[in-house]
Amino acid sequence: MRNPPPLTMSLLRPMRGDNALQQIRTLRLEGSKMFEGTSIGAGGRVQFAIVLPVYNDWVSFNRLLLDIQALFPRETFDIVIYAIDDCSDTLAQPLALNGPIAAVNIVRLSMNVGHQRAIAVGLVLAAERPSADWIAVMDADGEDRPEDLRTLVTMAADAPDKVFVALRKKRSEGVSFKLFYWLYVRAFKMLTGKSIRFGNFSVLPRRYAVRLAHNGNVWNHFAATLVQAKMPLEAIPTIRGTRYAGRSSMNFVSLVTHGLGAMSVFSEAIFVRIILMSGLLLGASLIGSLTVIAMRLFTFVTVPGWATSVLGFAALLSVQAIVTPILMAFMLLNNRSALQIVPKDTVLNLVESVIPIYEREAAEVPEQR
């Protein structure tokens, strides 16, 4: 098993020597100025946790921590990292940090559960931390930019009763992905009556994370559960970042499964709409059949030879319009009668170990002035 390279200054950007050092100084200066005049800058220390699902991407994970460290002033923030290791083939290495990050915990799962369930595990663990003011969820590959995390945290500090989600106003994927995403958004809107234009990247108060830890839908799709749970959402426009290293492990099958997971959260709404569409289809079939029969019995209009085919097709549609809602009703009733798997009660069965690879010493915490 090959370990990832250690955390070094060269991992921050493709720069070397003084250029990398200068970039860190610039980011730290921008981070300090960002919070001037806000409720964060005027208050005491702010504590929040970040949930990062990781699968064989520890190089990007290390670079992300350096960027977060540079953007948030250590005089104000205490940040705890929960990296959910979804059974990676490689291992994370101990980090040498010196800034706002108070602790880095690698949560290694006993089996590969996928991106969404890894987020659910992280939410449960982060919600157990009573000192956390907020909990952030983001990817560790760099596509969720640390600069946007800083913006979301700033907005959350001024509106502590809202959940702030990142709305991608500019995407960098290929044409085929954009096409399928466009189709998915329209299909989701038609079937559920809801619109989801954001992903996992978000910042929410801890009390909302506690609610999600008791919501079984979060296993299937985190963003859809935010909508289903009627969280007070506020969308902030962001730009999709560039991956730090490597390539995405998502493929077409994974994307389709991800979309179906979002729809499963609204299975009851989809069931009602399918009943309505089935009723319309049944009505149209009956009207078409009665029209052909009336033409044959009560008029002198010559009924063409394809009338029998039309009647047979209408009868087939009628049977499908009746059987489909009945089958869905049985499935839905069966799911409602079964006990919901609550993430908070299941997490311990999935966690193999929690490895703290970094913890800031108490002496490193700067005094408030």
Report the pLDDT value the prediction gives residue 10, as an integer from 0 to 100.
Answer: 32
Q: Has residue 39 got a pLDDT over 70? A: no
Q: Are 31 and 150 in contact (CB under 8 A)?
A: yes
Question: Which of 50-64, 158-172, 174-188 is predicted least confidently?
Answer: 174-188
Percent of the chain with pLDDT over 90: 35
Report the pLDDT value the prediction gives residue 162, as an integer from 0 to 100.
Answer: 94
> What backbone torsions phi and psi does residue 234 show, to the nearest 5 degrees?
-135, 115
Q: Under CATH, domain 9-249+346-364 is a member of which superfamily? A: Spore Coat Polysaccharide Biosynthesis Protein SpsA; Chain A (3.90.550.10)
Q: Has residue 23 got a pLDDT over 60? A: no
Average pLDDT, the chain: 80
Beta bridge partners of 139: none
> What backbone torsions phi and psi does residue 306 show, to the nearest 5 degrees?
-85, 5
Residue 151 to residues 196, 290, 324, Cα–Cα distance (Å)? 21, 62, 47
Q: Are 38 and 81 in contact (CB under 8 A)?
A: no
With bands split at pLDDT 50, 70 and 90, how would you rate the model's confidence at 289?
confident
Of 41-45, 337-341, 352-356, which has the strongest mean pLDDT? 352-356
pLDDT digits (tens, 9 = 90+) for 1-22: 344 333 333 333 334 444 544 5
Of 35-49, 175-189, 210-224, which has the strongest mean pLDDT? 210-224
Report the pLDDT value the prediction gives residue 84, as an integer from 0 to 100.
Answer: 96
For 132: left if phi > 0, alpha if psi spans -120 to 50, otherwise beta; the answer is beta
Q: Where are the domains of the chain?
A: 9-249+346-364, 268-299+307-337
Report the pLDDT value the prediction gives residue 139, as an integer from 0 to 100.
Answer: 93
> What is the CB neighbour count within 10 angstroms for residue 272?
14
Report the pLDDT value the prediction gives residue 170, as an integer from 0 to 100.
Answer: 67
What are the tokens at 79? 């940040």
Strands 134-137 and 46-54 turn out to be parallel
pLDDT digits (tens, 9 = 90+) for 71-105: 998 888 999 999 999 999 888 877 778 889 999 99
Across 117-121, average pLDDT? 94
Across 319-332, average pLDDT? 79
> What is the CB neighbour count within 10 angstroms for residue 33?
11
Lookup result for tokens 């989600």: 165
Across 343-369, average pLDDT? 77
Q: Has residue 322 got a pLDDT over 50? A: yes
